[in-house]
């Protein structure tokens, strides 16, 4: 007999990014491009006004418990923000957001409220690994990161590096389970890809037709918008909700939006996220909110009042909005410098660079003769750049962590390191 429950037996602490980031930190003068934050001169890229915002707070404001669903004012402001960014949606169908302890808790909420054994999860083949940790046990898998049950993966890109709508459709139509959670993460972690307006429209149309053809199946469409707003190419800026909202016309579809302060306002450690429901079914919306509040009460009880008070003032501050735009422009500038460096050194002659146009990251598929893990270690120890080897074949690089003058050097040395492996 074990002291642990089934969850306790199967839960693990994934060590991949954590270990690789730690390995980078102990190498003298190494640049850490493994982690999902934005930095400037090795320090977090923050909003300068946050220090002034913090000074404004009194203990009477931030020491009391927050309401379980979060402060009403911040919830109302975030809903206004969503409506402004998605002008085509029906405001009546959009619930009042509920505050979560980061977007990760939002994912945990939708996994626990809507998924269980014999349900399905649909993901791209390259995804944020914590999805697996959160969902897999709920879906009846035996080990924390196995994919032997109920988890379906489509190839995000085809052989020509185009967004693979055909494989998305093929995979969706081959799911036998009657309840399907579909995670749409754009900009994507780890690839940094956001579909074009046309691709996103087609993607939603595939789901829409499937829902109509399968009225006995319930679909939960989860938009993980962690990197929302960091869109760098003109035809790849359509917010996911501006397309998925049409699915609410189907009574077997529930649209869920997950987002937060984390990346949008450079407040990673504040851990202020939101879960928002979009449905034409008033009763379903009401029940979803009630059950979300019940789940919050039985887990964290309430989100951090201090973090919310800080976030609230950032949302209300015109100065903070200007600073956010300034920081967004810094990330975009790094993106364009990266594109130029890749072209200058012809890196795509040596590796497969997966399409990217947004967010924090880009992903490289290594040649078959190079093990990504061994390459990462050599690149770290010999060239002083820390990157994340996701598996034997793929390396993710966070250009959000690279000061612009470092980017050409990284690409040049990445190419040199590849040549050493190819000798």
What's the CATH fold of domain 6-46+320-422?
3.90.1150
Alpha helices in 94-176 (DSSP H): 102-114, 130-135, 165-173
Q: Is the pLDDT of residue 145 over 60?
A: no
Quick: pLDDT tens for 326-336: 999 999 999 99
Residue 396: which residues within 8 A CB-CB, separation 6 or more?
34, 190, 361, 362, 363, 364, 387, 388, 390
* Closest of 327, 354, 347, 402 to residue 33, by C-alpha: 402
Q: What is the distance between the alpha carbons of residues 13 and 32, in angstroms, rounded to a whole number? A: 21
Quick: pLDDT tens for 172-188: 999 999 999 999 999 99
pLDDT mean over 212-219: 98
Which CATH number does 66-316 carry?
3.40.640.10
Q: Look up residue 49 and give its two tokens.
A: 């006004």
Question: Measured between alpha carbons, how far apart are the two ends of the chain, in Å?
Answer: 54
Quick: pLDDT tens for 29-80: 999 999 989 999 989 999 999 999 999 999 999 999 999 999 999 999 999 9
pLDDT mean over 286-309: 97
Quick: pLDDT tens for 256-265: 999 999 999 9
Q: Is the pLDDT of residue 421 over 60?
A: yes
Sequence spans of domains, the chain = 6-46+320-422, 66-316
Residue 26: which residues within 8 A CB-CB, separation 6 or more?
none
Q: Is the pLDDT of residue 144 over 60?
A: no
CB 369 within 8 A of CB 422: yes
Q: What is the distance between the alpha carbons of residues 221 and 356, in angstroms, rounded to a whole number? A: 23
Q: What is the distance between the alpha carbons of residues 193 and 201, in angstroms, rounded to a whole number? A: 15
Quick: pLDDT tens for 216-257: 999 999 999 999 999 999 999 999 999 999 999 999 999 999
The share of the chain scoring above pLDDT 70, in percent, equals 96
Q: Is the pLDDT of residue 405 over 90?
A: yes
pLDDT of residue 4: 84
pLDDT mean over 131-135: 85
Kind of pairing between the strands at 385-386 and 361-365? unpaired
Report residue 138's pLDDT band, with 50, 70 and 90 as the boundaries.
Answer: low
pLDDT mean over 88-102: 97
Q: What is the CA radius of gyration of the chain?
A: 22
> Across the chain, what does the average pLDDT equal?
94
Q: Is the pLDDT of residue 8 over 90?
A: no
pLDDT of residue 187: 98
Tally of CB atoms within 10 A around 325: 11
pLDDT mean over 262-278: 96
Cα separation values, 144 from 21, 106, 393, Å: 22, 19, 22
pLDDT mean over 98-108: 96
Report residue 204's pLDDT band, with 50, 70 and 90 as the boundaries.
Answer: very high
Q: What is the distance between the alpha carbons of residues 95 and 72, in angstroms, rounded to a whole number? A: 13
Q: Is the pLDDT of residue 162 over 60?
A: yes
């Amino acid at each position: 007999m074990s002291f642990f429950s089934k969850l306790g037996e199967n839960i693990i602490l994934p060590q991949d990014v954590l270990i690789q980031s730690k390995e980078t930190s102990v190498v003298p003068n190494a640049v850490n491009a493994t982690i999902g934050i934005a930095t400037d001169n090795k320090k977090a890229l923050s909003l300068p006004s946050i220090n002034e915002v913090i000074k404004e707070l009194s203990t009477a404001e931030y020491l009391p418990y927050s309401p379980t669903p979060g402060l009403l004012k911040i919830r109302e402001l975030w809903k206004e923000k969503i409506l402004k960014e998605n002008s085509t949606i029906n405001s009546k169908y959009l619930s009042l957001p509920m505050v979560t302890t980061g977007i990760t808790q939002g994912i945990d909420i939708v996994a626990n409220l809507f998924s269980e054994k014999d349900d399905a999860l649909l993901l791209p083949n390259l995804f944020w690994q914590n999805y697996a940790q959160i969902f897999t046990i709920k879906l009846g898998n035996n080990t924390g990161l196995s994919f032997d049950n109920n988890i379906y993966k489509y190839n995000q890109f085809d052989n020509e590096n185009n967004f693979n709508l055909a494989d998305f459709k093929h995979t969706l139509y081959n799911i036998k389970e009657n309840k399907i959670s579909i995670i749409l993460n754009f900009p994507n972690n780890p690839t940094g890809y956001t579909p074009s307006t046309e691709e996103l429209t087609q993607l939603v149309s595939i789901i829409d037709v499937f829902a109509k053809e399968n009225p006995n199946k319930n679909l939960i469409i989860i938009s993980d918008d962690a990197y929302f707003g960091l869109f760098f190419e003109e035809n790849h800026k359509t917010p996911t909700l501006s397309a998925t909202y049409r699915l609410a016309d189907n009574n077997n579809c529930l649209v869920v939006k997950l987002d937060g302060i984390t990346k949008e306002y450079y407040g990673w450690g504040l851990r202020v996220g939101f879960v928002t429901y979009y449905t034409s079914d008033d009763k379903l919306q009401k029940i979803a909110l009630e059950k979300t509040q019940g789940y919050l009460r039985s887990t964290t009880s309430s989100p951090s009042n201090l973090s919310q008070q800080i976030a609230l003032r950032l949302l209300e501050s015109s100065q903070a909005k200007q600073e956010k735009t300034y920081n967004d422009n810094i990330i975009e500038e790094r993106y364009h410098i990266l594109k130029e460096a890749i072209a200058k050194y012809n890196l795509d002659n040596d590796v497969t660079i997966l399409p990217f146009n947004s967010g924090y990251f880009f992903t490289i598929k290594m040649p078959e003769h190079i093990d990504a893990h061994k390459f990462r270690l050599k690149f770290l120890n010999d060239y002083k750049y820390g990157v994340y080897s996701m598996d034997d074949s793929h390396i993710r690089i966070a250009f959000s962590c690279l000061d612009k003058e470092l980017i050409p050097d990284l690409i040049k040395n990445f190419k040199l390191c590849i040549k050493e492996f190819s000798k």
